[in-house]
């Protein structure tokens, strides 16, 4: 059996352009990130997460009345269906919230009022519903596992503040609410990252939106992707004091271990999101009167750059940012999903609008043709 090599294999699909898209632009050399042409720096400083959702889904920033209509749609979907609350109560309390989220989103696909519809309008409605429901699932599960009752959302609160309210049972301080909103803006989309790609692959078979989002959540979970923010916080807690940072990080590098929160497939300079999160983490640390976690992170950053020329990615400072807000560590990656649902669904809508099945090839490197040996002779 002979077989011509099909083409050069690009491990990890590095450098492969797999879709055209009008949603997100990354300049990995200059460290710039645009959503629909708007610089992330402008959006982080001047917009709200709801405006960014609208921008990602519709391609334009909303007018006042369009934004108000979106807020009303989100409000209408925030309260979880009874079936989902029942399901959340059935899960073991020690289950990983990311696994709970993946399963609950899949379950929502069974009971969505437009479950069997795949029109553009139905899918946009599903995108809005999922964006409202994901934070409610995470907050409700966290309360249930602590033996407390889920708290219904407050209509007058914005999306970010509503999550913090449903989680903690009281309205958060203004700095935390704005910091969380900015963190959501910064994580909303990132071109063909692994989870978005897996969502698009599922959508490309013309499977439904909930299936595509379930695929994306499963992909986000891994420590090389969204799981890195939780790993960063575990590392900071292990380091424990700024004085211990040097020895700890040098030890990691000597063992050839990856430092979570550093490196990126696309950026060759600092991730433009890191700058904002570094500032947010510091502001929250100052407010809490406990700058230690920010200081340790800063030291890790200095050493990683000095020793390996590594730049921080979005996950480095999001860890201490969420920690300062009093959010449990195992909710950090689910929080990534609270934001990225906007980008995932924008990409899934784009995939449906101009679909071609995504089906690459592999280069076969296994044994060539072998004679079959009957069971009794093996």
The CA distance from 95 to 320, in Å, is 23
| Span 190-209, contacts to ligand CMC by CB under 6 A | 193
Please write down the HEC assignment for all residues of 24-52. Answer: EEEECCCCEEEECCEEHHHHHHHCCHHHH
Name the residue with the smallest CB distance to ligand CMC. Answer: 263
Active-site annotation holder among 142, 189, 271, 315 = 315
**3-state secondary structure at position 312:** strand
The CA distance from 52 to 343, in Å, is 9
Is 173 annotated as catalytic? no
Task: Considering the complex, state which of residue 93 and residue 234 has its C-beta at the smaller distance from ligand CMC.
Answer: 234
Choosing from 261, 285, 334, 343, the residue that interacts with ligand CMC (CB under 6 A) is 261
Provide the minimum distance between the beta carbon of 105 and ligand CMC in the complex, in angstroms, as a whole number. Answer: 18
Choosing from 248, 262, 276, 352, the residue that interacts with ligand CMC (CB under 6 A) is 262
Residue 309 lies near ligand CMC (rule: CB under 6 A): no
Burial class (CB within 10 angstroms; exposed 0-12, middle 13-18, buried 19+) of 209: buried
Per-residue tokens: 23? 């949603």
- 233, 329 contact by CB (below 8 A): yes
Choosing from 28, 242, 263, 328, the residue that interacts with ligand CMC (CB under 6 A) is 263
Task: Considering the complex, state which of residue 128 and residue 188 has its C-beta at the smaller distance from ligand CMC.
Answer: 188
| Span 6-35, contacts to ligand CMC by CB under 6 A | 12
Is 27 annotated as catalytic? no
The CA distance from 148 to 145, in Å, is 7
Task: Considering the complex, state which of residue 199 and residue 261 has its C-beta at the smaller distance from ligand CMC.
Answer: 261
- 183, 321 contact by CB (below 8 A): yes
| Sheet of strand 38-39: strand arrangement | 24-27, 32-35, 38-39
Residue 340 lies near ligand CMC (rule: CB under 6 A): no
Q: Pick the piece of the chain touching ligand CMC (CB under 6 A) from 101-109, 115-123, 233-241, 253-261.
A: 253-261
Residue 308 lies near ligand CMC (rule: CB under 6 A): yes
Active site residues: 264, 315
Q: Which residues bind ligand CMC (CB under 6 A)?
A: 12, 193, 224-226, 228, 258-265, 308, 310, 313-315
């Amino acid at each position: 059996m002979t077989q011509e090599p099909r083409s050069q294999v690009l491990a990890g699909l590095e450098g492969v352009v797999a879709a055209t898209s009008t949603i997100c632009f990354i300049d990995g050399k200059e460290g710039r990130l645009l959503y629909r042409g708007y610089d992330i720096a402008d959006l982080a400083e001047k917009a709200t997460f709801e405006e960014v959702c609208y921008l990602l889904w519709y391609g334009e920033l909303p007018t006042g009345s369009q934004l108000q209509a979106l807020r009303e749609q989100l409000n209408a979907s925030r309260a979880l269906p009874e079936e989902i609350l029942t399901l959340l109560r059935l899960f073991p309390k020690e289950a990983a919230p990311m696994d709970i989220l993946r399963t609950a989103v899949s379950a929502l696909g069974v009971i969505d009022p437009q479950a069997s519809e795949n029109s553009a309008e139905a899918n946009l409605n599903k995108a809005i519903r999922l964006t409202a429901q994901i934070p409610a699932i995470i907050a409700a599960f966290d309360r249930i596992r602590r033996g407390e009752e889920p708290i219904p959302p407050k209509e007058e609160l914005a999306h970010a503040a509503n999550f913090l309210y449903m989680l903690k049972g009281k309205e958060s301080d203004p700095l935390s609410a704005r910091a969380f909103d900015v963190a959501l803006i910064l994580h909303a989309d990132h071109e063909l990252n692994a989870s978005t790609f897996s969502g698009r692959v599922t959508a490309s078979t013309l499977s439904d939106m909930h299936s595509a989002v379930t695929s994306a959540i499963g992909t986000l979970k891994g420590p090389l992707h969204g799981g890195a923010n939780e790993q960063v916080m575990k590392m900071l807690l292990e380091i424990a004091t700024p004085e211990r940072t040097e020895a700890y990080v040098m030890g990691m590098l000597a063992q050839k271990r990856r430092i979570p929160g550093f490196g990126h497939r696309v950026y060759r300079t600092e991730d433009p999101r890191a700058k904002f999160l570094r500032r947010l983490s510091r502001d929250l640390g100052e407010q809490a009167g406990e700058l230690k976690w920010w200081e340790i992170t800063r030291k890790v950053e200095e050493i990683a750059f000095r020793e390996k020329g590594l730049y921080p990615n979005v996950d480095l400072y999001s860890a201490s940012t969420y920690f300062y807000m009093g959010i449990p560590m195992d909710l950090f990656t689910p929080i990534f999903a609270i934001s990225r649902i906007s980008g995932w669904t924008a990409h899934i809508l784009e995939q449906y609008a101009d679909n071609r099945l995504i089906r690459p090839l592999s280069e076969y490197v296994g044994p060539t043709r072998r004679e079959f040996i009957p069971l009794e002779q093996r």
